Structures are given as C-alpha cells and as structure tokens.
Structure 1
Amino acid sequence: MIKKQLRKTVRKAISFLYFILFKLFLLLPQQNKIIFESFHGKQFSDNPRAIYEYLQGINVPNLKLIWAIDRRASRLLKDNRFTSVKRLSPMWVYHMATSKYWVTNTRLPLWIPKVAKISYVQTWHGTPLKKLGVDIDDVKMPGTNTENYKKGFLQDSSKWDYLISQNVFSTEQFRRAFNYDGEILECGYPRNDYLINNNNYDYIKILKHRLGIDSNKKIIMYAPTWRDDEFINVGHYKFNLKLELTLLKSYLKDDFIILIRAHYLISEKLDLNIFEGFAINVSEYEDIRDLYLVSDMLITDYSSVFFDYSLLERPILLYAYDLEKYQHKLRGFYLDIEELPFPICRTTEEVLNLIKLIDFNEKVNFSQEYKERFNAIDNGTAAKCVVEQVILSDI
C-alpha cells in the first residue's frame, strides 16, 4: 500500500514538472511540425499512420513529422521509417509544446494543457458499437470510478479542435458520448484507404509471403475486444481465450490457419506453442490493416473491427459468448447487435459449424441499409480529405 501511494506521488510530481516544462517551451517559436501518436505510443498504425503516410506521399515542404513512441516499444524507437521521440520524455514535452498539430487516436495525458495555437486532431479508432465516454452507466475499469472516468474523458475532449468520423452514425454518438460540440470531419477513416486501395490478389499474395503464411490455406482472424472487468492493473487487461482452438484444430487444421489478434490494451502473453502450424499470435504485429487483407474471414465480438473489415465484403462472425453480461452489466451497446448482418455464435461448436457452411469463393453482399449507414463515406480518399481540411488549408 505504501509503495503504491509512493508511486502515485512520484507520478504526480513528474506530471507537475512536465507541466511547468511545457509552459516554458511554449515561449519558444512554434514550428511547422506535427506530432503523431497511435494507441498511447504503442504502435505505428491506424488513422494517424494513414494521415502520416499521405503527407509523406505529397511531400509538403518544410513540414516536420514526428512520432511519439512508448519507451517499452523499443523496436519502434529504432525504426528508420519515421522520426520518433520517446513519449513522456522531456524531449516529447518540447515537441508537444512547439508543434502546430497533434494527431492521435486515443486520449492524451490530462496534465498537458491545450493552447490555441496548437490544433488537436482526434482521429479516434472506430465506429462505436459499445458505449463510450459519458454514455457508460457504470465504469468497471481499474484505477478509477464512473465519476472520475467521465470527468477525465470530458477534460480531454474539451481540448479537441477536430474529430474524425467514419459515418453519420458515429458523429451522432460522438457528439453525446464525448460532449463534443467542435468540428467533426465526416471523411471516413483514413486507415481504411489502405484496405480499399490494396484489396487485390497480387498485393495480398505479397503480404502473405511477407508474413510467412501458407497461401494455399484459408485464413481466419479472431480479433476480440477487451473486457473492462478482466484486468491485471490499470491499463493492463487479461485475455481469456474462450475460443476452443483444440476443437477447431481437430477439424480445420488441414485447410485453415487461425490468426489471433488481441486488443492493444491486453498485456498478457498468449502461448500458442501447442497449436503451431494452425494458430498464430499476431497481437504484436504493428498494424491490423495487413491482417485484414490476408484474412478470408473475421471472427470478433463487440469490437469495431467488423465495421472496417466489412468493406472487404468477406464473411464476418460474432462470437458473443458473454453477450448478456456485456450488454446489460458491463458496457452496453448503441445498436441492437442481433440486427447487424452478421451471424452470432455462443459456443465454439456453433462457430465450427458455421465455418463449414461458408463458401469462401463468394463475396458477402451486406445489406444496402448497412452499407449506407456505416460504409458509405469510406472511398479510399479519407486521408486526403482530412489533410486538405485541417493541414493544407492552414499552411
């Protein structure tokens, strides 16, 4: 208990010192510079990556692009594809204070102040099925309570200058859940430009070769979300693998490979050694976009990944083994999940039986109502839309 309180005191002291440092750095000239961050600096991925790569492609003169990387992601700190700075370091504070734009897909530390001369671009990271922000009735996450969680969320959202939305449905939920009345850019998601523009046989074949995946087998990706009440400590969640891989392997091993993609908040290591050759842990792979393209089918639960994956018109299955608990006790939904155009399974046996019935050579024609509601804006030019409205108009 004493050690825990001591760590808390030290963190507060460091945050206060960084706050002062930030204020001092604000006195320096502002630079034509963008600092990017994805999932708290853990990845080079998602909407921030798509915006970064678009800017790299058009080569804007005298515009510096810097990535904030978590100190534990040592491999990314050495990556020569981009210029990086160690997140939550004095140099990071310097770049945050002297940048013209912040581009991130999750919340920033609450202690960092927002000033008018810096534009905070919040890309977020998915069309919401599960409730967000102030819409969560009872927060189950560790290290906080419902009141403090909502207060912190609103404190961050009040700093946003722009929020990116994938569709009109998201805009409606974001306005309320984030209590946000600022500018929302309904451009679609920049990260989905990659899916739309690279969904072809030749590119997918190259990806499979790069990933070492047998191109003669069908690929199924299992990408579940995290459970708020299944945690180790603050920000570190458990991964209880409910999908019975032993059963699936006994029937599918000759023709299928299963990719397991845990949520970025999951900190437990997944040991799949006994399923070698059948199940592969791809949780550490830097960006899920390649995994979407190589997968012939997606199994998920309440994650927003199905909104993106449905653009590929491939089979999607919801393995919702704890549907009643998640819907009524843990988080709740914005949609009636049973009205979505995806089959719902409660057991691995049901999952297996459905896989056996799928014709993987046929595209899935999701309902027109679904496509118009969720996928109508994504057309492969979302990053261009964001950059032109936010950055090029201001340079």
Structure 2
Amino acid sequence: MFRKCKQIVRLIKNRLKYGNYAYHYCFLPIEKKKIVVTAHEGRGYSDSPKYIVDELLHQGFDIVWLIQDGKKDSLPVGVRPVKYGTKQALKELATAKIWLDNCRKKYSPPKRKGQIYIQTWHSPLRLKKIEKDAEKQLPVAYLDRAKRDAKKCDYMLAGSTFSRAIYENAFWFQGEVWMTGTPRCDLFWQDVEVTKKRVADFFQVDMATKFVLYAPTFRKDASVAVYLQEFADLKEALQTRFGSDWKVLVRLHPNIANLAKDLAYDADVLPATDYPDMQELIAATDLLITDYSSCMFDTAIAGKKTILYTPDLEKYLQKERALYFEIAELPFPIAKTPKDLVNQVQTFDELAYGQGIQRFQEQLGFAENGTAAATTAKKIKALCQ
C-alpha cells in the first residue's frame, strides 16, 4: 500500500510540474511537417522508430527526437535533438502533426484535433503478459499512464495476427492496427554481412568470429544472481558443434543496464549492454541464449538459433508475471542448468529447429517481410499531406 501511495504522489507531482505549460503550448499552431519521436523514454536512437525515421530523413520533415543527456551522438544528421522530459519537449509534442513512440508516454500534452499518435510498441511478440492481461501485476502509476496514453493513440503496428489481437483486446485501444510488420525487424532482410562487419568492428574482433548473444530479461528484485556467468564450457561446446572461434556477447535489459559493470568479462566474454542497437546484435549473432525476453521472437523472425536458459522457471512463474505461452510449447530448446545448456548445444538439431520455427510463424500469423519501415513511412507521409 505504501508503495502504491508513493507512485500516486509522484504521478500528481509530474502533472502539476508540467500541466500548465502543456496547456499553454496547445494554443500554438500545429506544424504539419513536424514529427516528434521517442524510443525507450529517450535512451537513444533505436528500435522501430529508428528504422521508420531512417525512411523519412531528408524529405522535408522537421524530425524531433526526444532524448536523454549523453545520447545525442546516436542521432543521425537530419534529426533535431530535444531533451526528454523537458518543457521544450512538451512544446514540440504540442505543435507536431505526428507523435511516434515505442513505449507509453510519461510526459505529453493534451492531444489536439488534427494530431496523430502512432505507437510501434517495443516488441513484435512477447512471452510475458502485458497491459490489461497483466493488470494485477503492474504498478498503479503505470496503469494510469497506460490508460491515458491509450486514449490518445490512433494507430499501432503489428507483425502478426496474434499481436494484433493483443493490441485490440488488452491495450485499452480504440484505434486501428496496421499489419505492417515490425520496422526494427526489417534489418533481417538486408545484407547481414554489412551488419556483421559493423558489430565485429565495434568489438574489435575478426569477421570470421561467430557470436553467441546472452540476453536475459530483468527480475523484479533487479538481481543478476540467476544469470549465466561462466561461459568457458559453453564456448568449447559451440566450437566443437559448429566450428570457428566464438565470442560471447552479454547484454542486460535496459531496466538493469547499470548492473552490467558488475559482471565479469574477458577476451572471450564481451560487454554488449551499451551497444546502441539490439537488432544489429541479433542480425550479427549466430545463437541467442535468453530466458523470458521477447528477443527470442526477433530471432524467430530472423530464423536464428535460440536456446532458453531458465534456471528459475518455477520461481519466475510464481513471482513475476503470467505468460502467453507454455514454455515447453515454444519452438526453442530449454536448459535449466549450465550442464543442460552445454548438452543442448552439443545435440542441437538445425533441421528440426527450422521446421519448428516455421510452424510457429504459421500458427501465430506472422506478417514480416522486411518492408515494415517503408510501409509505415509511406503512411506517415500520406497523413501529413
């Protein structure tokens, strides 16, 4: 109860802090060629909004990206940075024709007639239940924000019929779902070698190196105790089963990115939490190891190998959040101990795995074909006429 009261007080303070300015800016004219973009609450140029903006650059739009301090260098030429969560950010939103975001908005002015809000969401598919489907597990302040945000939203993007149903039924959403596919996943249809070189150069390794990406999700207690932290046996198994030299990339969820510094790294285990684009890591990687993160579905779209490492499965199901799928019904091999993980690598059946991924895509009605960003950009241009 005390925690809920603190959340409500914080919410009221934010409204008082920005409310008067937000309403004041609503008397300014709407600029029909202005697009205001945010991703992950200003953490950088990333996710589906990045790929949509890439399609809109240098076409006469005033593209404003709301961004946190220290992240401005991630923006390309042609995108105007404005500090996230400021009065200036509210002014930009109040006068923009298009709002584009991948998360629920923390700070936004009243939406005006003629303005259009497009929500890409931050995963093409997800394992953990979200929004109304997880209403009892979510904080009061977040639920308030989500419901207010949903009333402003006009369009959402979906990459499968399964996701479209979730948006229509669990997002307090009355707008239209565009079955465009997922813009951030378009990268998987592009030249993989170009992306692989960019990643290899960043980590200063040879292009012939193979990557295993370890990307677990966060826990409520913000602990890394259950994470895999010894990789020598895994590396040996990978090299024996698939050949080549392997490096391990370790990437923590943005919610606990500050804990990445506490993990151990060496010449074979490299820190990847600060790499600017998760999609590039997925495109460049040869095997993903995760637990309950939605990145498993990105690799399913990309046709990449994935193994789930879930040492705390029973505890997670009890204390965290209910799931949309039974873990055992997913098309990914599962390991509960480091020894199991090594065994899954040694016995990995690529043919059976590929068939399982194909069935999964068909069952969920995947609609990904590498054109989502271009299709969405075309729709935005039409809305701005």
Do these two structures clear the TM 0.5 threshold for a shared fold by scoring above it? Answer: yes
CA deviations on 1:45-79 (whole Å, 9 max, x unpaired) are 011001100111xx423x111110023xx142685
Q: Is the 8 A contact 1:296 1:314 kept in 2?
A: yes
Structure 1: tracts of 5 or more residues without a match:
232-237
Amino acid at match of 1:205: K
Cα separation, 2, equivalents of 1:6 and 1:128: 29
Structure 2: tracts of 5 or more residues without a match:
240-244
- Who is 2:67 aligned against? 69
Amino acid at match of 1:101: I
State the number of aligned residues: 373
RMSD of aligned alpha carbons: 2.9
Mean CA deviation greater in 173-182 or 293-302: 173-182
Change (3 A) 1:365 1:209: farther
Mean CA deviation greater in 157-166 or 329-338: 329-338
- Who is 1:321 aligned against? 311
Amino acid at match of 1:117: G
More helix by proportion, 1 or 2? 2
2:376 aligned with 1:383:
no
How much identity, in percent, do the aligned residues show? Answer: 27
CA deviations on 1:17-38 (whole Å, 9 max, x unpaired) are 4221121112112112001111
- Who is 1:300 aligned against? 290
1:204 to 165, 176, 196: 196
TM-score by length of structure 2 reads: 0.87
Change (3 A) 1:130 1:8: closer
Mean CA deviation greater in 116-125 or 243-252: 243-252
2:114 aligned with 1:124:
no
Change (3 A) 1:360 1:7: closer
CA deviations on 1:235-259 (whole Å, 9 max, x unpaired) are xxx4445213155368469732111
- Who is 2:326 aligned against? 336
Alignment of 1:1-395 (within 5 A): 12-13=12-13, 15-31=15-31, 32-56=33-57, 59-61=58-60, 63-71=61-69, 74-76=70-72, 79=75, 81=77, 82-109=79-106, 112-126=109-123, 127-136=125-134, 138-139=136-137, 144-145=139-140, 148-199=141-192, 201=193, 203-227=195-219, 229-231=220-222, 238-240=223-225, 242-245=227-230, 247-248=232-233, 251=236, 255-271=245-261, 274-358=264-348, 364-374=354-364, 376-395=366-385
CA shift at 1:216, angstroms? 3.4
TM-score by length of structure 1 reads: 0.85
Amino acid at match of 1:86: K
Q: Is the 8 A contact 1:272 1:281 kept in 2?
A: no
Cα separation, 2, equivalents of 1:225 and 1:52: 27
CA deviations on 1:258-282 (whole Å, 9 max, x unpaired) are 1111111114332477531111111
Q: Is the 8 A contact 2:195 2:280 kept in 1?
A: no
